């Protein structure tokens, strides 16, 4: 489980010249998302190549 806001910030790190956490990459994974910023996370997970995304 990963905090949503921390994950979204981490995805932006390469834009700032910093490495993103490899363990938080969702490519090929099945992702379940919920909470206040769920739709932002859904779109980002799909753009990253998640195998599936479920929003609760």
Cα 20 versus chain centre, distance: 11
Q: Domain limits at 28?
A: 4-55
Domain count, the chain: 1
pTM strictly above 0.85: no
In tens, the pLDDT along 6-50 reads 999 998 999 999 998 888 889 999 999 988 899 999 999 999 999
CA-to-CA distance for 7 and 24, rounded, in angstroms?
Answer: 7
**What pLDDT shows up at residue 1?**
84
Q: Is the pLDDT of residue 52 over 90?
A: yes
Note whether 26 and 50 are within 8 A (CB): yes
């Amino acid at each position: 489980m990963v905090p949503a806001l921390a994950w979204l910030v981490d995805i932006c790190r390469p834009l700032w010249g910093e490495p993103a956490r490899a363990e938080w990459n969702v490519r090929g994974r099945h992702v379940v998302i919920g909470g206040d910023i769920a739709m932002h996370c859904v779109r980002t997970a799909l753009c990253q190549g998640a195998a599936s995304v479920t929003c609760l």
